[in-house]
Amino acid sequence: MLGNPEKPGPASLPDRAFTRDRLGRPMRDLRISVMDRCNFRCPYCMPRETFHERYRFLKASQRLSFEEITRVARLCVGLGVRKLRLTGGEPLLRSGLAELVAELSMIEGGEDIALTTNGILLAQHAAELKGNGLHRVTVSLDTLDEAVFERMSGGYGGLHQVLEGITAALEAGLSPVKVNAVVKRGVNDHTVLSLVERFRGTPVIVRLIEYMDVGTRNSWKPEDVVPSAELLRRVRERWPLTPTAGRTQGEVAERYVFDDGAGEIGFISSVTAPFCGDCSRARLSSDGAFYTCLFASQGTDLRSPLRAGASDNDLLALLRGDWSRRVDRYSELRDAGGVVEHPLPKVEMNYIGG
């Protein structure tokens, strides 16, 4: 059971039990968007101009119920998934989320439940989520500069609430607690060192993320990217670092430790050092579409068969079929030739989570 380290998870499944895609990559991670709404309007994800007051988000009935989510998760665990991550939009806007965590923690064979949140509501929920089986949390926090924070959250404040949320997560025993910071040149890159300094010497792991062309709304330009190599140099000039052992399979961050023992830092380089080669991440949108890549244009509708009485075998055939046909490697293609032409618009990040 996910919450029960005594019961060994899929890790103990023989290799052949993992469903693999055309490039031999197993499906090990399922990222579940439980909510398409958010209480921020980060320009690189949900720019206010598009996601304005009259924007039509999903109705509650259009979102998968906790029962439907748990069923899909259980089937995916049977196909080899061992890590479940709850995302959004902002997942803590989904009421009763702790109940879903409790359901997911009962799935036989899983190993890990994580949450990605903007942290604004975390202080209120951390203890209950932990109590129901959540293991760890990643907080999206791009800067500690109040003015830049307001700009990067689309005019919303609350930096202190996010910091309170991180403290509450640590106090609740969620571990590890990570901070993900998307770095955009000329916007927040000048505030990166103060963010790193703030969490050095604490259990919180900061990860600096290269700004990506997710979705279709953030007017991404390569010149706005600060390559991880440059960020690494900046951090190193201030604090000597040593790389930890290479990335573990499916992991996205290049990890380093501070030589003075003040903890760890990570760099996520989807643009300049893509990691599609061992990408094991599948995604479930809040309205039940199954995606095999963050930059995909199309997903497979699971909600209709779920609500039409499909059997587990029917659903497994859809999931296994999709994954085994998978050849996604968008970031590598982007890296090789610049912008990749997409027949259809890429799916928006608020819809399938990061």
CB of 45 to ligand SF4, least distance (A): 15
The torsion angles phi and psi of 309, rounded to 5 degrees, stand at 85, 25
For residue 351, give Cα distances in angstroms to 57, 113, 203, 273, 289. Answer: 10, 20, 30, 25, 10
Q: Which two tokens stand for residue 31?
A: 């990222």
For ligand SF4, the closer of residues 42 and 212 by Cβ is: 212
Residue closer to ligand SF4 by CB (options 81, 279) is 279
Judged by CB under 6 A, the stretch of 2-10, 30-38, 120-128, 276-284 that binds ligand SF4 is: 276-284
Residue 183 parent element (H or E): strand 177-183
SS3 117: strand
Per-residue DSSP letter, 340: P
Interface of this chain with ligand SF4, residues 279 to 338, rule: CB under 6 A: 279, 281, 293-295, 328-331
Coil, strand or helix at 33 = strand
**In the bound complex, what is the minimum distance in angstroms from residue 336's beta carbon to ligand SF4?**
12
Rounded to a whole number of angstroms, the minimum distance from the CB of residue 270 to ligand SF4 is 6
Under rule CB under 6 A, residue 235 binds ligand SF4: no
From the list 55-63, 131-139, 272-280, 306-314, the region that binds ligand SF4 by CB under 6 A is 272-280
Q: Which is nearer to ligand SF4, 157 or 321 (CB)?
A: 321
Residue 326 contacts residue 25 (beta carbons within 8 Å): yes
Element (DSSP H or E) covering residue 216:
none
d(CA 130, CA 218): 34
* Of 328 and 348, CB closest to ligand SF4: 328
Q: Is the dihedral of CA 60, 64, 69, 70 positive or negative?
A: positive
Contact present, 288 and 302 (Cβ < 8 Å): yes
CA–CA distances in Å: residue 306 to residues 292, 299, 312: 19, 15, 9
Helix (H) or strand (E) holding 1: none
Q: By CB under 6 A, is residue 115 in contact with ligand SF4?
A: no
Q: Which is nearer to ligand SF4, 63 or 346 (CB)?
A: 346
Query: Stretches 53-61, 124-132, 198-206, 274-282: which one binds ligand SF4 (CB under 6 A)?
Result: 274-282
Structural tokens at position 259: 């030589």
Q: How many residues bind ligand SF4 (CB under 6 A)?
A: 11
Euclidean distance between CA atoms 182 and 225, whole angstroms: 10
**At its nearest, how many Å lie between ligand SF4 and the CB of residue 25?**
8
| Token digits of residue 224 | 């706005």
Output 21 or 287, the one with its CB closest to ligand SF4. 21
**The binder of ligand SF4 chosen from 179, 276, 306, 315 (CB under 6 A):** 276
Nearer to ligand SF4, 211 or 330 (CB): 330
Footprint of ligand SF4 (CB under 6 A): 275-276, 279, 281, 293-295, 328-331
